[in-house]
Structure 1
Amino acid sequence: MNLGLMDVIKNIAVLGVAAYLTTQLPPFRRALSQSQYRLRDKLVLICIFGFFSAMGNYLSIPVLGAIANTRIVGAVAGGLLGGPIVGLGAGIIGAIPRYFMGGFTMVPAVMTNVIVGYLSGLVYARYGVRNIGVKAALVVSFGAEVILKLMILAFSSSFEAAWELERIIAIPTTIANCLGVMLFVYIVRDVYQEQEKVQAKAAQQAMQVIKKTNGVLWSGLTITSAQSVAETIYSEIDANAVAVTDTEKVLAFIGDGDDHHIIGQPIITQATKLARKNRHTVITNAKESIGCPVDSCPLTAVIDAPLLVNNRFQGSIKVYKTGAGVILPYEAELVQGIADFLSLQLLHGELEAQTILLAQAEYNSLRAQIHPHFMFNTLGTIRAIIRTDPEQARALIKDLSDIIRRHIRPGREMHTIKQEIDFVDSYIRLEQARFGDRIRIIKVIDPVVCRQAVPVFAVQVLVENAVKHGLSPKKGGGIIEIGVRREDNTVYISVQDNGVGITGKSPEQLLEAQPVSRIAAGIGIGLSNVHARIQRLFGNEFGISIKSRENEGTCVSIRLPWQEVAPDDTSEGSKSCYCR
């Protein structure tokens, strides 16, 4: 009996159609999309490729008491596309029907189906599925056919019958089965390329949305920020409508259905209410599940992704389709990813607000403190001179009252250099009353910077540290030089002393953030706090720098951006631009 090539190719055509239809099944695509197959994915692939191998037995042509078939196509394709375990499993499934069909080639046919399935899987393990193309499929399938022919000749019960069989079917079945494996691999690679295009498109869309919405929600979810987010998503994603809500109402809506989905209106769709209740993404391709109470609403499919901050529902991103449109899996993942990114922005804004509140609370706490030792020493000094020099005592009491008033009076965080220097003068006069000529002050201040904005207490802290840690421990005291100058758009404030210098800690350690309880007392705020305040107000390129040499002195400098305070913004005691 002669075997025509077309007889086998017809069977391959049937197998090819079945293979193409199978690649359109979501479970098959999900299994193939895994970079590392899980057990469930392997079982799915084993069943599918095993089915094709088994089906190859029934798409067979009897020849001389044997069977010419396409059985090895499923086993080899399974190994190439799923790995050794899938190839082995598919080979076993395909071999079971062949065993019951009998014939003098039954034993080698069963053995070979299992062997070539496993060997094909080793090729997968060596090169990876995405590196296996049509050429590799041709080489592997041809090798599998050679193994099959040799096994039939070696293990068949009749060598003469086996030889006669192979003389008739060797060339047609080899060509047909090689074409079958190549066709299967080609179809699956086409699926991969389609998935990669979809993933690339989704990645590009996600990057565009992230780029355009980065930082938009840092200040919170408002109508303005929600509108910006909705416009960006609507322009980048294939959607018929996009909406953004907070916990209670619609903040933005663009697209079909905007006649009744109105900004400011309470949430009316059941999908959003379900997402809010369960804090999970809701995906539906049924108009009834959306739950819009307006019968004429054109929206038929939605993905409703919640915006969660610490598992608290803050709002939702809703992407709608109309008519026959459905939410595709990649679109669901894309919208969920965008929602996660926007949730992180809300969290960032919340943390930033908490940081500002904490810093302000710490600042208010510190500015309200007046160290007891300073009070005791100052009052003791006033008591000592009140009988001998009442006028000086009166002036010192005024200076002390000014300091106390500035500390306990709520106010803004910034004022002018002139106001800060006036405050420093009050502090210096109190210290000079205690230490006398041991503390001498030199001020070199450019008059043009008198209205420069400076954080409250910034210079006073530097002077206080110079007195307390620089000159006080030094026998005979020393000199403190205060300098303020402007260079282009930058203002430099320096406080330099010729005291004992810094010992025990590096300048970097002095600027490290510390809790309130550990900040060195005095009458005010530690260097680290001032440094942190400056950077928070103006940016990390500004702040405090320290240079010190032991037994030679210390120079602490503040770098600020040029920022003049308008005359109307100045408070009392700041009517003149003259700095002493």
Structure 2
Amino acid sequence: MTGTMFFNMLLNIGLLVLLATLLTNMASVRKLFRGENSTIAQKMALAVIFGAISIVSTYTGTKTGGAIVNTRVIGVLTAGIMGGPFVGMMTALIAGAHRFLFDIGGFTAASCAVSTLVEGVLGSLVYKKYKAGEMDSVDLFFLTAEAEILQMVIILMISKPLGAAMELVGKIAVPMIVMNSVGMVLFFKTFDMVYMREDSLFAERMRLSMGIADKSLVYLRKGFGKRENMEAVTDIIFGEIPCQAVIITDEKEVLAVSSLIDDSRFRREKFLEHLTGPAKGMKAECIWEEDLDEEIRPLFHSLVTVTVPVMTGDEKIGSLSIVVKKRRRVERSIGDFLEELAKMFSTQLGVYNVEYQKKLRKKAEFKALQSQVNPHFLYNALNTISCICDEDAGKASDLILTLASYYRQTLENDQYMLDIDTEINHVRTYLEIEKARFEEKLRVEINVEDGLSCQVPSFILQPIVENAVRYGNSADGVRRVEISAKRVQSGPGEELVRIGVRDHGKGFEPEEAERILTGNKTGSVGLKNVNERLKSTYGKRYGLEIRNTDDGADVSFCIPYQAES
């Protein structure tokens, strides 16, 4: 008899694994499992699914001595572990109520119903542990064994007469504890593949889109509207993914097409209207054959076009589209890939558009300003954001906004002189981006005298701070930067403002400091430019002071103090 129980339970476990495999291949079910902030309706749907699985386990169980040897515990525990307390308890109520009604007044009807509720509680209690990634197969095995042992205890406590209950437990305890514990591991791992599969698909999309974006960067930085650049981009995408065509448009016309088939059809005005329509966020849309006008519909027989807008800020500047053959579910995977790629393109275009606008400045004083911007800063900032994207999308989004704010401050400033608070805030924005790159390896201290209110040349401070961040790492690898601004007495009736930046690096070589202060072209461009601007603005006796300290370098300058009215 015991051998028959083991065999029947093995068949039941195989049935549950088959059900789990079928369910995880349904996109709607996978979406329920992936939902981080599920609605009550979605949680109820999960509870119904697991409740149904538990009911199937009851029906396929083996009747023995007034009890049913079954695998119901597997569905109930999995519901609590993966779905949380609400899903776990609702599943337990569904399965427990069914077990009681299945055999009303039966020898073990009440005890099995109660034990089912206890199993729902057990699964719910370890939900957070599972979410934290702290549960493995061994934990699942012993959790199920504990649940089955509790069920045996409840049968002994509730089912009467006690002698019959003890005889029943002696028959079913070992098969149910052993087989359900093994079955739980197999069943759970099948459902857990939902997460592994989705993570793998997401990682693959990101890898592909990052690779394409990296190859396209050199062309995007030259401008979105130039046909030869966009043709190079469509060729790159076309070479990376299987499709019939890749199309890039601006808001009026097709800029580039890479295609296996005659590309004249993609340039038709009736088709272009679908690609240049208003943007609906950054979501991909499918253009089916049936959506097209009758005169061009035959040209797109058995084809579907997946299109997504390309944005700079909130403005749509064009579209990126891929044409594929009609196949089941292929459109969604292409859409997910296109959305990720378009976001990267939009970020790159936005940043490089800022750079382009900077180059258009015509004022002479800002021409000098542009030459002092470290060209590696933007590259490093984008690399930092790219790395953080995989780890913390929210943080990456904040950094993109910070980078945009940084360039907006530079672009929108058309004044040569700014108040010191504005200048300090500009430096703070720059340092926020650098802190994301160096993390705990960059420590900054800013001390501005209370009530200090004066004007300073625009963008005068960042090149000094940038130099300190770049070269100011101490022996322990930490970059410590101290920024200060305070009033000092220069002589009778003359007040100056001293602004200094101190680091704890190796300091300046004497020859390097001399080249900066004398304006030699081989010196630091940023610091040389600051020195020249100071002298041009305030006179030859004002300029940078560079000195090495016991543990680093101190770069400072003084300007006449003129309180703002």
Which TM-score bucket, shorter chain as reference? 0.5 to 0.7
**Distance of aligned partners of 1:106 and 1:122 in 2 relative to their CA distance in 1, 3 Å threshold:** same
Check conservation: 1:283, 1:327, Cα contact below 8 A: no
Shift of 1:52: 1.2
Which residue in the other structure is 1:221 paired with? 225
Residues 50-449 of structure 1 correspond to what in structure 2 (within 5 A)?
50-101=51-102, 102=104, 103-128=106-131, 130-214=133-217, 216-218=219-221, 219-261=223-265, 266=269, 268-269=271-272, 271-273=274-276, 275-276=277-278, 278=280, 281-284=283-286, 286-289=288-291, 293=296, 295-297=298-300, 300-324=303-327, 326-327=329-330, 329-357=332-360, 359-360=361-362
Shift of 1:116: 1.5
Check conservation: 2:303, 2:325, Cα contact below 8 A: yes
Distance 1:501 1:350 in 2: 48
Check conservation: 1:88, 1:115, Cα contact below 8 A: no
Q: Secondary structure at the match of 1:113?
A: helix
Check conservation: 2:274, 2:287, Cα contact below 8 A: no
1:545 to 514, 517, 531: 531
Residues 526-537 of structure 1 correspond to what in structure 2 (within 5 A)?
none
Shift of 1:39: 4.5
Which residue in the other structure is 1:433 paired with? none
Q: Secondary structure at the match of 2:126?
A: helix
Which residue in the other structure is 1:409 paired with? none
The reply on whether 1:504 has 2:460 as its aligned counterpart is: no
**Distance of aligned partners of 1:17 and 1:539 in 2 relative to their CA distance in 1, 3 Å threshold:** farther
Q: Identity of paired residues, percent?
A: 22
The reply on whether 1:11 has 2:12 as its aligned counterpart is: yes
Question: Paired residues, what number?
Answer: 392
Check conservation: 1:303, 1:327, Cα contact below 8 A: no
Check conservation: 1:244, 1:315, Cα contact below 8 A: yes
Q: Which structure: larger Rg?
A: 1
**What is the aligned-residue RMSD (CA, Å)?**
3.7
AA aligned opposite 1:224: E
2:541 to 546, 554, 557: 554
Q: For 1:112-150, what per-residue CA distance to the aligned partner results, in whole angstroms no more than 9, with x for missing partners? A: 111112212322322437443433322211111111111
Check conservation: 1:298, 1:323, Cα contact below 8 A: no
Distance 1:205 1:178 in 2: 40
Distance 2:126 2:312 in 1: 47
Structure 2 length-normalised TM:
0.61
**Distance of aligned partners of 1:269 and 1:350 in 2 relative to their CA distance in 1, 3 Å threshold:** same
Distance 2:355 2:297 in 1: 41
**Distance of aligned partners of 1:220 and 1:203 in 2 relative to their CA distance in 1, 3 Å threshold:** closer
AA aligned opposite 1:84: P
Q: For 1:311-333, what per-residue CA distance to the aligned partner results, in whole angstroms no more than 9, with x for missing partners? A: 33311000221253643544422
Q: Secondary structure at the match of 1:220?
A: coil
Which residue in the other structure is 2:49 paired with? 48
Shift of 1:209: 2.0
Q: For 1:355-402, what per-residue CA distance to the aligned partner results, in whole angstroms no more than 9, with x for missing partners? A: 444x326879xxxxxxxxxxxxxxxxxxxxxxxxxxxxxxxxxxxxxx
Check conservation: 1:22, 1:28, Cα contact below 8 A: yes
Q: For 1:557-579, what per-residue CA distance to the aligned partner results, in whole angstroms no more than 9, with x for missing partners? A: 8xxxxxxxxxxxxxxxxxxxxxx
Check conservation: 1:116, 1:144, Cα contact below 8 A: yes
Check conservation: 1:82, 1:129, Cα contact below 8 A: no
Distance 1:69 1:336 in 2: 46
Shift of 1:221: 2.2
Distance 2:540 2:326 in 1: 79
Structure 2: gaps of 5 or more residues: 367-456, 458-490, 502-523, 545-565
Distance 1:325 1:222 in 2: 36
Distance 1:127 1:362 in 2: 62
Structure 1: gaps of 5 or more residues: 365-461, 463-498, 510-537, 558-580
Q: For 1:519-546, what per-residue CA distance to the aligned partner results, in whole angstroms no more than 9, with x for missing partners? A: xxxxxxxxxxxxxxxxxxx974651316
**Distance of aligned partners of 1:337 and 1:259 in 2 relative to their CA distance in 1, 3 Å threshold:** closer
**Distance of aligned partners of 1:355 and 1:21 in 2 relative to their CA distance in 1, 3 Å threshold:** same
Distance 1:356 1:349 in 2: 11
Distance 1:277 1:191 in 2: 32
Check conservation: 1:5, 1:176, Cα contact below 8 A: yes
Check conservation: 1:109, 1:152, Cα contact below 8 A: yes
Distance 2:201 2:247 in 1: 24
Check conservation: 2:5, 2:62, Cα contact below 8 A: no
Residues 508-527 of structure 1 correspond to what in structure 2 (within 5 A)?
none
**Distance of aligned partners of 1:12 and 1:237 in 2 relative to their CA distance in 1, 3 Å threshold:** same
AA aligned opposite 1:283: E
Q: Secondary structure at the match of 2:330?
A: coil
Distance 1:24 1:192 in 2: 12
